[in-house]
C-alpha cells in the first residue's frame, strides 16, 4: 500500500498536546508570559517527566526498557524480529532556564510516529525504537550527552556513576537510584540500532533568517569545555596597593574578554562562551581568593578548534603569570566535530522535499545524542526553525506548523529505514 504510506501524516494536535503536557513539569514562567522548563538531569522534576513519558509509551502497548545509566527505550516490534531496529529519540532533561522543545520535541515526535503507525495498522520490517537519553544537557552533570555517550561505550559506567553534580555535589549514581531509573540493560549496549535519526529544534537563527522549513544536518560542531580554577590572594580592597594584588577575578575577567576577542579573530564558525563564573568570598570590599569559571569553545573544524584551545591556554598562562595567580585547568567535555552518514543525510533531504518542504544542509552548533549514535550506526538529524534563534531560554519557541513538518519528515525517514513488509 505504497500510496497510503506516502500519504501518511502524524497528528499535529496530538503531538502538540503532549509537548504542552510535558512542558508543565518543572515549568518556569517569564515576565512576558513565556513558559519554559527547569528540569535538570536526575532531579525530582526529571523523574516526574520520565514517569509521564514512560506512561505514554506503555499506554501504546510498547515494550519499555531502561539501561544502567537511565536511558529509556520503547520499541514497536517489526515483522522481522531478527533485524536490528531503527532508532529515533533525544532527551527530556533541560537546562535551568530551558524551553519546552529542546530535546522534548524529538522524543515526543518519535512517540507520535509510533502512535501513527499503530493507529494505521502499519508494521514495518524492522522494529522502531524511541529513546530518551540521560543528562544530554550536561548542565548538572558534565559532560553533556552523557547517557548516549555511555550507551555507545564512550565512557565507562563506573566513571559516569561517580560524576558529581555542579549544583549540589550529588553523585550521579545515587541520584539515578533515588529517582528509580537505574535499569537492567547493560551499557555499552549489547547490540546497536540499524540506524538513528533525531528530530530537534535548530536552537539557532539560521533557518528562520533564511525562511527555510527543514534543516538537513550534515554534522555537529566539535565542543571543548574547560573549567579553570584560579587561586589568588584574598586581601582588603581599600588598603592593598594595586601592584601587590593577586586578584583571580581580574584574571577571570581578562580571560572572558579574550574568549570573545578570539572568536572575532578566528571568525567563521568559531564560537566561545564563558557561561559560569563563581567567586569566593564574593564580597564588595574583599579582593577575591578564588574564582572558578568555564570556557565553552566550538568549531566545525577540528584543527581550528585545537588552535582556539591552544591560544586560550597560552593566554591563561600569560595573564596568570602577570597577576601571580595559580590556575588549575580541567577538561569537562571534549568532542571532535562529527560528520553524519551521507546516505542518511540524503534520506532526510529526500523525505523533506517529497513532503514539499524547503530544505538547507547545515552543521549543528549544539551537541546532540545523534553524534554519539553516529559512532555505532548510520545517523542523521532533522532541524526545525527556532523563533529568534532562541534556545536554552524560557522564550524558546517553534511554531506548530514547523513542529508538524519536522515530525512528518521523521515519520517518513523512519518508514524508509525500517522498510515495509
CB atoms within 10 A of CB 90: 27
First and final CA of the chain: distance in angstroms?
A: 10
Tell me how far apart the alpha carbons of residues 177 and 174 are, in angstroms, rounded to a whole number. 5
Contact call for residue 137 and a second copy (CB under 8 A): yes
Binding piece for a second copy, criterion CB under 8 A, among 2-10, 83-91, 157-165, 244-252: 244-252
For 224, the grid coordinates are 571543548
Closer to a second copy by CB, 262 or 351: give it. Answer: 262
Contact pattern for a second copy over residues 105 through 134, marking x by CB under 8 A: ------------------------------
**Could you tell me the smallest distance in angstroms from the CB atom of residue 241 to a second copy?**
7
How much of the chain is helix, strand and coil, in % rounded to 5?
Answer: 35, 25, 40
Strand pairing partners for 132? Answer: 72, 90
Cβ proximity to a second copy: between 23 and 138 the closer is 138
Site for a second copy in 207-236 (CB under 8 A): 221, 223, 225, 227, 233-236
**Beta-strand runs (E) in 143-265:** 195-201, 214-220, 222-231, 235-236
User: Binding residue for a second copy (CB under 8 A) from 194, 392, 412, 417?
Assistant: 392
**Residue in the structure block whose three cell numbers are 519536522:** 406
Binding test (CB under 8 A) with a second copy, winner from 75, 88, 379, 391: 391
The correct pick among 257, 342, 400, 421 for binding a second copy (CB under 8 A) is 257
Gap between the Cα atoms of 114 and 10, Å rounded = 9
Block residue for cell numbers 506516502: 6
* Cα gap 234→331, rounded to integer Å: 26
Which residue, 298 or 417, is less far from a second copy as judged by CB? 298
- Binding status of residue 263 toward a second copy by CB under 8 A: yes
Is the Cβ of residue 160 or residue 207 nearer to a second copy in the bound state? 207
Report, in Å, the least distance between residue 144 CB and a second copy: 7
Q: Where are the beta strands (DSSP E) in 42-138?
A: 63-66, 72-76, 86-90, 128-132
Q: Which of residues 139-178 bind a second copy (CB under 8 A)?
A: 139, 142, 144, 166
User: Rule CB under 8 A: is residue 195 a binding residue for a second copy?
Assistant: no
Total residues at the site for a second copy (CB under 8 A)?
Answer: 73
Q: Is the Cβ of residue 81 or residue 264 nearer to a second copy in the bound state?
A: 264
Task: Return the range that interacts with a second copy (CB under 8 A); candidates 69-77, 249-257, 302-310, 398-406.
Answer: 249-257
Residue pair 359/212 in contact (Cβ under 8 Å)? The answer is yes
Q: Which of residues 357-376 bind a second copy (CB under 8 A)?
A: 364-367
Among 77, 153, 188, 205, binds a second copy (CB under 8 A): 205
Helix, strand or coil for residue 37? strand
Among 332, 338, 410, 411, binds a second copy (CB under 8 A): 332
Q: Which of 228, 227, 224 is nearest to 333 (CA)?
A: 224
Q: Give the Cα separation of 128 and 132 in Å (integer).
A: 14
Burial label, 134 (beta-carbon count in 10 A; 0-12, 13-18, 19+) = buried
Q: Which residues inside 290-309 make contact with a second copy, applying CB under 8 A?
A: 294, 296, 298
Residues 60-99 that bind a second copy (CB under 8 A): 95-97
Binding-residue pattern over the window 18 to 57 for a second copy, x denoting contact by CB under 8 A: ----------------------------------------
Q: Considering only CA atoms, which of 217, 209, 216, 199 is closest in space to residue 359?
A: 216
β-strand pairing of 195-201 with 379-384: parallel
Please report whether residue 286 would count as binding a second copy according to CB under 8 A.
yes
Distance (Å, rounded) from C-alpha 251 to C-alpha 259? 12
DSSP 389: G
Q: Exactly one of 3, 32, 191, 239 binds a second copy (CB under 8 A); which one?
A: 239
Closer to a second copy by Cβ: residue 279 or 355 = 279
Whose cell is 577540528? That residue is: 302
Nearer to a second copy, 78 or 367 (CB): 367
Is 200 an interacting residue with respect to a second copy (CB under 8 A)?
no
Amino acid at each position: 500500500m505504497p500510496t497510503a504510506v506516502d500519504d501518511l501524516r502524524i497528528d499535529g494536535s496530538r503531538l502538540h498536546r503532549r509537548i504542552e503536557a510535558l512542558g508543565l513539569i518543572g515549568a518556569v514562567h517569564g515576565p512576558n508570559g513565556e513558559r519554559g522548563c527547569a528540569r535538570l538531569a536526575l532531579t525530582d522534576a526529571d523523574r516526574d517527566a520520565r514517569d509521564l513519558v514512560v506512561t505514554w509509551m506503555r499506554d501504546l502497548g510498547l515494550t519499555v526498557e531502561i539501561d544502567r545509566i537511565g536511558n529509556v527505550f520503547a520499541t514497536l516490534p517489526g515483522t522481522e524480529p531478527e533485524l536490528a531496529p531503527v532508532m529515533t529519540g533525544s532527551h527530556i532533561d533541560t537546562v535551568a532556564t530551558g524551553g519546552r522543545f529542546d530535546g522534548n520535541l524529538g522524543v515526543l515526535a518519535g512517540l507520535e510516529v509510533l502512535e501513527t503507525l499503530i493507529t494505521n495498522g502499519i508494521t514495518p520490517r524492522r522494529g522502531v525504537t524511541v529513546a530518551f537519553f540521560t543528562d544530554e544537557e550536561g548542565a548538572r552533570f558534565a559532560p553533556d550527552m552523557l547517557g548516549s555517550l555511555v550507551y555507545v561505550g564512550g565512557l565507562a559506567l563506573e566513571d559516569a556513576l561517580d560524576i558529581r553534580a555542579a549544583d549540589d555535589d550529588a553523585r550521579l549514581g545515587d541520584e539515578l537510584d533515588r529517582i528509580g531509573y537505574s535499569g537492567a540493560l547493560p551499557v555499552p549496549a549489547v547490540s546497536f540500532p540499524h540506524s538513528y535519526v533525531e528530530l530537534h529544534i535548530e536552537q539557532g537563527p539560521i533557518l528562520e533568517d533564511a525562511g527555510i522549513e527543514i534543516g538537513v544536518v550534515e554534522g555537529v560542531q566539535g565542543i571543548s569545555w574547560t573549567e579553570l580554577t584560579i587561586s589568588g590572594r584574598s586581601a582588603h580592597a581599600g588598603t592593598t596597593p594595586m601592584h601587590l594584588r593577586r586578584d583571580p577575578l581580574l584574571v577571570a575577567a581578562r580571560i572572558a574578554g579574550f574568549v570573545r576577542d578570539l572568536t572575532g579573530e578566528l571568525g567563521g564558525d568559531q564560537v566561545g562562551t564563558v557561561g559560569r563564573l563563581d567567586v569566593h568570598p564574593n564580597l564588595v570590599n574583599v579582593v577575591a581568593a578564588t574564582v572558578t569559571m568555564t570556557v565553552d569553545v566550538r568549531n566545525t573544524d577540528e584543527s581550528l578548534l585545537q588552535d582556539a584551545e591552544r591560544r586560550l591556554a597560552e593566554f591563561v598562562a600569560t595573564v596568570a603569570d602577570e597577576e601571580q595567580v595559580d590556575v588549575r585547568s580541567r577538561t569537562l567535555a571534549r568532542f571532535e566535530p562529527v560528520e553524519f552518514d551521507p546516505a542518511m543525510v540524503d534520506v532526510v533531504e529526500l523525505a523533506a522535499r517529497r513532503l514539499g518542504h524547503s530544505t538547507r544542509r547545515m552543521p549543528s552548533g549544539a551537541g546532540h545524542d545523534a553524534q554519539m549514535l553516529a559512532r555505532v550506526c548510520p545517523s542523521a538529524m532533522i532541524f526545525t526553525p527556532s523563533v529568534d534563534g532562541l534556545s536554552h531560554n524560557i522564550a524558546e519557541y517553534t511554531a506548530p506548523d514547523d513542529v508538524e513538518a519536522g515530525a512528518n519528515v521523521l515519520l517518513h525517514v523512519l518508514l524508509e529505514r525500517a522498510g515495509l513488509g
